[in-house]
Amino acid sequence: MNKEEFKKELKKLKIELTEEQKKQFEIYKDFLIEYNTHTNLTAIKEEKEIYLKHFYDSLTMNEFIKDNKKILDIGTGAGFPGMVLALLHPNCHFVLLDSNNKKTTFLKLLKEKLNVTNVEIVHARAEEYVSHHKEEFDIVTSRAVAELRILAELSLPALKIRGHFIPLKANIENEFLLFLESLEELKGKLIETKDFYLPIENSKRTILVVEHFSHTFEIYPRCYDKILKKPLVKK
């Protein structure tokens, strides 16, 4: 997907970039390519792939982001989807969370280059950060980070009541039923599922919207070793 195809496909998502936003995406793309030559941020290194698999892919979530919300992006990596969405929603406050110091260092430099003021970069483990920031966020999102029920345990406790957990993933079939079982324990309810295919390559993606309907038990999230060794199942 080249730059013109990117803008054309965004119009189908009802996204019209301003001139300033177009410049920001150019800066983002160029800096990502340059930084990736000496620091491994992403396996996707070609311009066309960045526009498709990072920028466009992240913006498929745009319809679920409302203004004046506090949003946590868990496992943001090089800023996907959090930084991308932040460029379109300057009235939202985004916390981009990652445990990889090299990636959060990149994001701090990128934030300065893009001149964005609505983004906070946090270097921490998700379970540790969420344990100290329970029920603070309107939306928690993530993209291709971990198995869904693991993500759910890391995400639901961070949400306000009636807040939404919105992950974006590919190939969820083998983990979907276990994910649904975990939601019962975490006080979450699946309210929407959106399947779609990326243009050009036609790979399948799924966006899920889960509502946090009640207070999650205080023990969650557990330490990551326990989450991995004993993932949540229906009791």
- What tens digit of pLDDT does each residue of 13-54 get? 999 999 999 999 999 999 999 999 999 999 998 999 999 999
pLDDT of residue 234: 64
Cα–Cα distance for residue pair 115/104, rounded to 1 Å: 16
Looking at every residue in the chain, the average pLDDT score rounds to 95
pLDDT at residue 146 in the model: 87
Tens of pLDDT, residue by residue over 209-221, are 999 999 999 999 9
Domain ranges for the chain, please list them.
3-229
Return the structure tokens found at 50: 């960045």
CATH of the domain spanning 3-229: 3.40.50.150
For 139-165, the pLDDT digits (tens) are 999 997 889 999 999 999 999 999 999
Structure tokens at 66: 């409302």
Rg (CA), the chain: 17
